[in-house]
Amino acid sequence: MSTSGDTIAAIASGTGRAGIGVVRISGPLAPAMGRSICDRDLPVREACYLPFLADNGEVLDRGIALLFEAPHSFTGEHVLELQGHGGPVVLDMIMQRALQLGARPARPGEFSERAFLNEKLDLAQAEAISDLIDSSSVAAARAAVRSLSGEFSAHVAIIQEELIALRVWLEAALDFSEEEIDFLAEPVLQQRTINLISQFDSLLARAEQGQRLRDGLTIVIAGVTNAGKSSLLNALAGVESAIVTDIEGTTRDVLREEISIDGVPLHVVDTAGLRSTEDLVELEGIRRARVQMDNADHVLVIIDATRPELPPVELPDRVAQSVIINKSDQVDEHRLSALRDEYGASLCISAKHGQGLDALKAHLLSLAGHDSAVEGVYSARRRHLDALYHAREATDAALYRLRESTMPELAAEELRLAQQSLDQITGRFDSEDLLGRIFSDFCIGK
């Protein structure tokens, strides 16, 4: 349980004028504050329509008061919610009345932090609250709801239980290593570890899609000079952000645009044309282009339909790529079909005239997981993915030790490290600095 003995208050509704506004209070003084503000003892979990009073009895507003007793509340503490009219001045008067009665202003995310500390939510669920509020698409909102309801945490818990079971098996084998039975040689031990790695892969697929929905996708546009990369950037952004000319090598630096397609954020990067050159400025542009490609989520390789050729430099193998045939308006359908087959192109477009852009946008949305075939996408953050990657790598290392029958003590240690990484997702650790960073990004009142 939270050891905090103070009472916090905040305006929990949005800024500006609205039909309804909410002041939320949490802490030991909440019932007494309700008695003072409403001039009566409030029943628990029962909506009461009544006046909200100042200290001199003047009516500040009329609205609904709701009292929740600990531990049956969002924060696990006594909670009072005062729902009045949504004018900023009215809400500020009610807020000042709460402060006058002994509350202090809540920090950003402090209500959710108290819910976490009082074990009403784990850390992944608490973060999902902020993700749900900040959702920019229906798909992102659904992923956040799944995480908030505990589906993500439950999946993590299943893997944790299997890790614990494998650790128990290994520790027992090490403790009784002088017995005639060789527990480490049991084939089922390796198979269970292999199955566990498969569970990691399934969870990672769902979490990676959720992270793309939340944070967006970094798309790098690459190709030879004058393939139409800058024209495509302008077409996607809807503004003339990149200079477009017939002169080869016009784009020599990296250009970035933040765009949104159906609410999904995409970070689109235009790069210098990739070709063999002795120009020092152009060579620097090509070097920067390769850095961007190495750090991209996806690379769009643009092929000029009128002079088709792939970039003369090696593209990163680890980054997924799509080949796009541009300037499709300048060649006939037979030629386009042949080019698609030759280069394995995903789409044919004309960035200059807007042909095929709707199909390209749909393609980008699918890359971001907007209409993913992955079942049950979870809202996830980069720290969640890092923890899952580390846990999977440690489990894979443990499997290697078991297969090689070398130093089973290290296999047990790898599984311990894997479990420790998973603990970071749900918050089974003591790190005040991390908690401070996480909850400081929340809005006040949550």
Residue spans of the domains in the chain: they are: 8-122, 138-213+378-426, 217-367
Please write the tens of the pLDDT for every residue from 35-72: 999 999 999 999 999 999 999 999 999 999 999 999 99
Given this model, what pLDDT does residue 142 score? 87
Exposed, middle or buried, 85 (CB in 10 Å: 0-12/13-18/19+)? Answer: middle
81/30 Cα distance (integer angstroms): 9
> Which CATH code for domain 138-213+378-426?
1.20.120.430
48/83 Cα distance (integer angstroms): 10
Given this model, what pLDDT does residue 16 score? 81
387/258 Cα distance (integer angstroms): 28
Of residues 185, 261, 213, 133, the one with CA closest to residue 374: 213
Fold of 8-122: Gyrase A; domain 2 (3.30.1360)
324/302 Cα distance (integer angstroms): 5
306, two tokens? 């009128």
419/161 Cα distance (integer angstroms): 9
Report the 10 Å Cβ neighbour count for 330.
14
Fold of 217-367: Rossmann fold (3.40.50)
CB 313 within 8 A of CB 286: yes
Eight-class DSSP state of 315: P
> Is the confidence at residue 243, as pLDDT, over 50?
no
CA count, 13 A, side-chain hemisphere, 353: 10
DSSP element (H, E) containing 52: strand 48-53
> Is the confidence at residue 28, as pLDDT, over 80?
yes
Task: Name residue, tokens 């139409």.
Answer: 228
Please write the tens of the pLDDT for every residue from 289-327: 788 888 888 888 888 888 888 877 677 777 888 898 989
CB 80 within 8 A of CB 38: no
Whole-number average pLDDT of the chain: 84
CB 422 within 8 A of CB 207: no
Rg of the chain, C-alpha, whole Å: 29
pTM of the prediction? 0.71
444, two tokens? 């006040």
Amino acid at 246: D
Given this model, what pLDDT does residue 370 score? 64
> Is the confidence at residue 250, as pLDDT, over 50?
no
